[in-house]
Amino acid sequence: MHLGVNIDHIATLRQARLTTYPCPIQAAKDCLEAGADGITAHLREDRRHIQDKDMENLAAMAQAGELHLNMEMAATDEMVAIACKLKPQAVCLVPESREELTTEGGLDVAGHIERMIDVVARLNDAGCAVSMFIDPDKAQIDASKNIQAAVIELHTGHYANFNGDKQLSELKSIQEAARYADKIGLIVHAGHGLTLDNTKPMVDIKEIMGLNIGHAIVADAVFVGLKQATADFKTLMKR
Ligand code: PXP
Strand, coil or helix: what is 190?
strand
- The backbone region for 164, taken as left when phi is positive above 0, alpha when psi lies in -120 to 50, beta otherwise, is left
Q: Which residues on neighbouring strands pair with residue 151, listed in sequence order? A: 131, 187
72 in active site: yes
Q: Is 192 in the pocket of ligand 1 (CB under 6 A)?
A: yes
42 in active site: yes
How is residue 86 annotated by DSSP?
H
At 215-232, the pLDDT tens digits run 999 999 999 999 999 999
Average pLDDT on 77-92 reads: 98
Average pLDDT on 175-183 reads: 98
Indicate the helix (H) or strand (E) that contains 43: none
At 15-57, the pLDDT tens digits run 999 999 999 999 999 999 999 999 999 999 999 999 999 999 9
Q: Is 213 in the pocket of ligand 1 (CB under 6 A)?
A: yes
Q: Is 153 in the pocket of ligand 1 (CB under 6 A)?
A: yes
68 in active site: no
Strand, coil or helix: what is 90?
strand
CATH of 2-236, one of 3.40.50.2020, 3.40.640.10, 3.20.20.70, 3.30.230.10: 3.20.20.70
Task: Say what percent of the chain tops pLDDT 90.
Answer: 95
Distance CA 87, CA 174 (A): 30
Q: Which residues on neighbouring strands pair with residue 209, listed in sequence order? A: none
Which one is catalytic: 42, 68, 158, 189? 42
Ligand 1 atom closest to the CA of 94, numbered from 1: 3
Phi, psi of 235 (to 5 degrees): -65, -45
Ligand 1 pocket test: pick from 2, 7, 39, 40 the residue with the most ligand atoms within 8 Å of its Cβ.
Answer: 40
Alpha-helix runs per DSSP H in the chain: 8-17, 24-33, 52-63, 77-86, 113-125, 138-146, 157-161, 164-183, 200-203, 215-224, 226-236
Q: Is 102 in the pocket of ligand 1 (CB under 6 A)?
A: yes
Distance CA 87, CA 69 (A): 9
In terms of Cβ atoms closer than 10 Å to its own Cβ (0-12, 13-18, 19+), residue 29 is middle
Under the banding of pLDDT at 50, 70 and 90, the label for residue 97 is confident
Query: Taking a C-beta distance cutoff of 8 angstroms, is the pair 2, 233 a contact?
Result: no
Cis amide linkage into residue 22, ω under 30° from 0 = yes
- If we measure between CA atoms, which residue out of 146, 127, 142 comes closest to residue 71? 127
* Domain limits, the chain: 2-236
Under the banding of pLDDT at 50, 70 and 90, the label for residue 98 is low
Q: Is the pLDDT of residue 3 over 70?
A: yes
Q: Is 42 in the pocket of ligand 1 (CB under 6 A)?
A: yes
At 119-177, the pLDDT tens digits run 999 999 999 999 999 999 999 999 999 999 999 999 999 999 999 999 999 999 999 99
Q: Tell how far the Cα of 191 is from the centroid of ligand 1, in angstroms.
A: 6
